[in-house]
Amino acid sequence: MEDEVYADTDSDTEGANSDGSAEQPGILQVYLIQNTFGDDNYLTICYWFFIANIAAVAVINNEGVDSEHSEDAHEDNASSSEISDFDLNLPTSHSYLGSNLEELKGRTILDEGIYMNLPLLPMRSVVLFPGQTLPLAVFGSGVINMLDNCIQKNRTFGVVCLSDDKLEMVGTTAEIFEYTQGGEDGGFCIKAKGRQRFKILEIIQGYSQKSANVRIMPEITLSHPIFEQRLTSLDHRRVMLLNQKDQATFDRIRKLDAAVTAWPDWVYKHYDPQILAFKIRQNLQFIVSRGSSVPTDPTDLSFWVAQNLPLDDKERILLLEYDCVISRLQWQLEYLTKDRILVCSTCDKKIAKQSDIFPMSKEGPQSTFCNSSGFIHDTITVYKAENLKLDPNPPSAEYSWFPGYAWTIANCDGCESHMGWRFTAHKNKSLRPLSFWGLTRKGLKSRKLKKSERKLSTRSDSS
Ligand SMILES: [Zn+2]
What local confidence, expressed as pLDDT, does residue 81 receive?
45
Pairwise CA distance, residues 207 & 14, whole Å: 30
Q: Which of these, 179, 174, 173, 159, lies nearest to 104 by C-alpha position?
A: 179
CA of 162 to the centre of ligand 1 (A): 23
CA of 345 to the centre of ligand 1 (A): 7
Mean pLDDT of the chain: 79
CA of 319 to the centre of ligand 1 (A): 27
36, pLDDT greater than 60: no
pLDDT tens readout for residues 11-25: 433 333 333 334 444
Burial of 109 by CB count in 10 Å (0-12 exposed, 13-18 middle, 19+ buried)? exposed
Residue scoring higher pLDDT (210 or 93):
210
In order of 168, 373, 419, the CA distances from 162 in angstroms are: 6, 19, 20
What's the CA dihedral at 141, 157, 375, 448 to 10 degrees? -160
CA of 355 to the centre of ligand 1 (A): 20
Over range 82-104, report the average pLDDT.
Answer: 79
Pairwise CA distance, residues 227 & 219, whole Å: 20
CA of 385 to the centre of ligand 1 (A): 13
CA of 313 to the centre of ligand 1 (A): 18
Q: Is the peptide bond before 433 cis (omega within 30 degrees of 0)?
A: yes
CA of 99 to the centre of ligand 1 (A): 37
CB 325 within 8 A of CB 305: no
Over range 130-155, report the average pLDDT.
Answer: 89
Pairwise CA distance, residues 341 & 82, whole Å: 35
What local confidence, expressed as pLDDT, does residue 185 receive?
62
CA of 322 to the centre of ligand 1 (A): 32
CA of 412 to the centre of ligand 1 (A): 5
Would you give the DSSP letter of residue 7? B
Q: Which of these, 443, 421, 416, 419, lies nearest to 345 by C-alpha position?
A: 443
CB 209 within 8 A of CB 3: no
CA of 168 to the centre of ligand 1 (A): 27
60, pLDDT greater than 70: no
278, pLDDT greater than 60: yes
50, pLDDT greater than 60: no
pLDDT tens readout for residues 242-259: 888 888 888 888 888 888
What local confidence, expressed as pLDDT, does residue 404 receive?
93
CA of 342 to the centre of ligand 1 (A): 11
CA of 196 to the centre of ligand 1 (A): 36
CB 32 within 8 A of CB 309: yes
CA of 57 to the centre of ligand 1 (A): 29
What local confidence, expressed as pLDDT, does residue 184 receive?
56
pLDDT tens readout for residues 162-187: 988 889 999 999 999 999 876 556 67
Which helix (H) or strand (E) segment holds residue 267: the answer is: helix 265-269
